[in-house]
């Protein structure tokens, strides 16, 4: 592994070094991204729209598969072969790139004032002095459901957790549909669409998230145990063999009409629009009891920054400034329903399910995933631990109390405010 890695980076360094000197003449930009699903939209809509304003800048969208993105990007940046524009993961992954001098400070960029502080917070230094990526979009968690199955079984959209459990029980008892489409083989769904989806209602969104960062609350507190207890209830309603079910399996299970409820990220809307031939809708994570305030995970997920080693910084800044306009926000939000623009421009979302998702911003309080800011900096890595324990709780191999205790113990090992 090691041997191969070093020799290949050395070699690509040479090859691309040659290529770069040839490309300097005309302003051309390459975008590094993990969104390979969106390549068509970039090539057919976004880049042509940009070229109407700036015909002299040639833009190439060069995505890498999501799982390889961080590793590949780091290797390319170290070897000096990365593209001019870098798609930024939220928080520490990008902060690390900035600290290592791979991203430039965008504080003075034209159009940066179109974004709120909350939107920018995922791509700022801890003191908030430097902003190194231009926020693009957030994703919202919730549940997508098959409207036809709900009608057939005769159930309403559940508002509280008891209603939710009654609904899945009814589906299980009366039909052959899978009540909850989710698998634990890939682990991340358990944490992201499970824990981070339903959890904010228990830990009260931002309030709880900040309290853990400040050391005032612990991840083993009641709210977190209750989150895991709720997840543990799901396991009787997930499909046969869900332990070996992967993310694409889950998507197929739902789009084939074999499952009723799909714990979702709003990004799934695009896939479902093209694959499902039944009507589907969405509901926010049910609250523990009637009348409780609702919280949603409205996670700042994607941004764009400039490679500090780019020879085309001027062109790159022009591109980012254009991305801060309402024109981009409009194109992006509507060609990728489920990715919600973070800019302050008022954007009309056309897709009905995406509209449903974004409407929760008015009725519920928004928060982000609690493991993303600061808390995943140490060893053991909190995010990895959450994947692991959430999957184990759903597999029935770990109790909710143990799961909560394990995440807290891990955090207390290195995070001073929690020691």
The footprint of other proteins (CB under 8 A) covers 1-3, 5-7, 67, 70-71, 74-75, 91-93, 96, 99-101, 183-188, 239-246, 249, 252-253, 371-372, 376-377, 379-384, 387-388, 391-392, 395, 397, 410, 413
Give dist(CA 393, CA 354) in Å, integer: 30
| Cβ proximity of 259 and 239 under 8 Å | yes
By the 10 Å C-beta count (0-12 exposed, 13-18 middle, 19+ buried), 149 is classed as buried
Output 342 or 393, the one with its CB closest to other proteins.
393
Could you tell me which of 232, 242, 159 has the C-alpha nearest to residue 195?
232
Phi-psi region of 317 (alpha: psi -120 to 50; beta: other; left: phi over 0): alpha
* CB 283, min distance to other proteins, A: 25
Cβ neighbour number for residue 81 with a 10 Å cutoff: 18
* CB 251, min distance to other proteins, A: 11
* CB 69, min distance to other proteins, A: 10
* CB 392, min distance to other proteins, A: 6
Output 16 or 75, the one with its CB closest to other proteins.
75
Output 11 or 24, the one with its CB closest to other proteins.
11
Output 233 or 395, the one with its CB closest to other proteins.
395
- Give me the helices (H) in 286-415, please: 313-323, 326-335, 352-363, 382-395, 400-414
DSSP output for 172-207? HHH-SSEEE---STTSHHIIIIIIHHHTHHHHTHHH
| Cβ proximity of 83 and 307 under 8 Å | yes
Output 61 or 228, the one with its CB closest to other proteins.
228
* CB 122, min distance to other proteins, A: 12
* CB 419, min distance to other proteins, A: 15
**Which residues, including other chains, have CB under 8 Å from residue 383's CB and lie 6 or more apart?**
191, 371, 372, 376
Output 38 or 189, the one with its CB closest to other proteins.
189
C-alpha distance from residue 308 to each of 19, 199, 322 (Å): 18, 38, 19
Could you tell me which of 145, 236, 249 has the C-alpha nearest to residue 189?
249
Output 164 or 254, the one with its CB closest to other proteins.
254
* CB 29, min distance to other proteins, A: 25
Could you tell me which of 157, 170, 155 has the C-alpha nearest to residue 360?
157
Output 96 or 110, the one with its CB closest to other proteins.
96
Could you tell me which of 227, 230, 284, 281 has the C-alpha nearest to residue 254?
281
* CB 89, min distance to other proteins, A: 8
């Amino acid at each position: 592994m090691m041997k191969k890695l070093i020799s290949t980076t050395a070699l690509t360094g040479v090859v691309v070094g040659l290529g770069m000197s040839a490309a300097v003449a005309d302003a051309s930009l390459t975008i590094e991204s993990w969104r390979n699903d969106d390549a068509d939209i970039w090539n057919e809509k976004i880049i042509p729209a940009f070229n109407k304003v700036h015909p002299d800048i040639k833009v190439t969208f060069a995505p890498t598969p999501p799982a390889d993105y961080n590793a590949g990007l780091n290797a390319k940046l170290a070897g000096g072969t990365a593209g001019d524009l870098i798609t930024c993961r939220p928080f520490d992954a990008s902060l690390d790139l900035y600290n290592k001098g791979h991203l430039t400070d965008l504080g003075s960029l034209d159009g940066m004032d179109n974004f709120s502080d909350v939107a920018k917070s995922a791509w700022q230094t801890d003191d908030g002095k430097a902003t190194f990526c231009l926020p693009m979009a957030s994703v919202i968690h919730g549940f997508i459901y098959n409207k036809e199955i709900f009608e057939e079984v005769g159930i309403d959209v559940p508002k509280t957790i008891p209603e939710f459990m009654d609904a899945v029980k009814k589906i299980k008892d009366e039909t052959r549909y899978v009540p909850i489409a989710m698998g634990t083989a890939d682990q991340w769904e358990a944490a992201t669409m499970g824990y981070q989806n339903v959890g904010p209602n228990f830990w009260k969104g931002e309030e709880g998230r900040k309290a853990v960062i400040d050391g005032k609350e612990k991840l083993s507190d009641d709210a977190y145990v209750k989150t895991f207890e709720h997840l543990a209830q799901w396991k009787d309603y997930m499909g046969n063999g869900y332990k070996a079910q992967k993310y694409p399996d889950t998507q197929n299970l739902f789009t084939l009409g074999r499952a009723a409820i799909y714990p979702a990220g709003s990004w799934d809307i695009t896939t479902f629009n093209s694959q499902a031939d039944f009507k589907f809708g969405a509901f926010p994570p049910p609250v523990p009891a009637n009348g409780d305030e609702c919280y949603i995970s409205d996670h700042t997920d994607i941004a764009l920054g400039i490679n500090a080693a780019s020879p085309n910084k001027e062109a790159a800044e022009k591109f980012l400034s254009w991305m801060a306009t309402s024109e981009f926000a409009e194109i992006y939000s509507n060609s990728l329903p489920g990715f919600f623009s973070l800019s302050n421009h008022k954007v009309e979302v056309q897709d009905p399910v995406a509209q449903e998702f974004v409407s929760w911003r008015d009725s519920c309080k928004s928060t982000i995933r609690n493991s993303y800011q600061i808390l995943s900096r140490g060893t053991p890595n909190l995010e990895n631990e959450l994947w692991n324990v959430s999957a184990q709780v759903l597999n029935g191999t770990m109790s909710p109390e143990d799961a909560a205790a394990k995440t807290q113990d891990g955090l207390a090992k290195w995070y001073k405010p929690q020691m």
